[in-house]
Structure 1
Amino acid sequence: MAHQESATEHWEKVHRGRELLLSGYQVQWTPSRLTSSGAWTMPYPDYDEMLMGALDAASTILGPDHDYLASFERTREVPISSASVSDLSTWFTYIQRGERFADGHIAHYVESGEFLLLLDRLVALRDSLRIASRDGGGAREGDEARPSP
């Protein structure tokens, strides 16, 4: 039977990802190469395991936004520092799924600093997520958790 990660393990991955980004991590790219068949491969990013663990953990904590394409234009207008749980779910879903269609999609958000800001915001909302999960909730549509004054 596979090990089911605990909430604590997910949060540890988020924190390790933040530490990686705070240390100045830069995405490394695997260069194109000639294969034995004579075809050239395209370059692709080689993401650090801690970065990908943080992305997976954030997505698990928040849950996916199945309608992220419709939500993203509105979500990207909200400053990350005041993003709701729902906004974060949209962001992390967009970043994670975008990599499937464009190599380097995650790298863009790492290089711009937005990935770190998103992880910071998720950590800032941790207490409100605990309250939601105790109440049987979680990251649900319309959840407008905001920082305490």
Structure 2
Amino acid sequence: MNQTTLPDANAIAQLLALGQAALACEQTPIRWQTGGGLPWPEYPQALKDFFAAAAQPPWSDSHYQPQACSALIRAEDGIARADLATLCSLLTWMVRGERFCDGHWAAMLEQGHLRRWLERLAAFA
């Protein structure tokens, strides 16, 4: 990560609050819409709000490495050992993944990656 400014305590607290609201979406399956073409997810507002905030500075990492983030997020202890800069990279990977793969955010929620990421972020609060 080549970001010069890491999130401060206030930014962490704000994103954690949005994250808790987003995690409430785990209780309801993501609905998929079909309209004659490929299906697309219809995300709850709380999840959209979280990822909208996550796409903004100081969270976004323009130098993130998608392949490295993918490997790290799938590693058994990858998120648990991440430092704050790495968490920003992983979050950027989560945010941008939806642009390239409809349903990426749903997978992050359903597979527990978002929950583990938020638990790790809480260690820096």
TM-score if structure 2 supplies the norm length?
0.71
- Indicate the residue corresponding to 1:124 in structure 2: 123
| Identity level (%) | 25
Larger radius of gyration: 1
User: For residues 47 and 31 of structure 1, what CA distance do their matches in structure 2 show?
Assistant: 10
CA RMSD of aligned residues (A): 2.7
Q: Deviations over 1:51-101 (max 9, x none)?
A: 222233344343314232253256334532221112211211111111101
- Indicate the residue corresponding to 2:90 in structure 1: 91
The 8 Å contact of residues 25 and 47 in structure 2, kept in 1 or not, is answered as: no
- Indicate the residue corresponding to 2:23 in structure 1: 21
| Structure 1, unpaired ranges of 5+ | 1-6, 34-39, 127-149
Report the number of matched residues.
114
| 1:54 and 2:46 matched | no
| 1:69 and 2:49 matched | no
The 8 Å contact of residues 54 and 92 in structure 2, kept in 1 or not, is answered as: no
State the 1:15 CA deviation. Answer: 1.4
Larger relative contact order (CA 8 Å, sep ≥ 6)? 2
Q: Assess, with a 3 A threshold, how the Cα gap between structure 1 residues 104 and 110 changes in structure 2: closer, same or farther.
A: same
- Indicate the residue corresponding to 1:30 in structure 2: 32
| Structure 2, unpaired ranges of 5+ | 1-8
Amino acid at match of 1:87: T
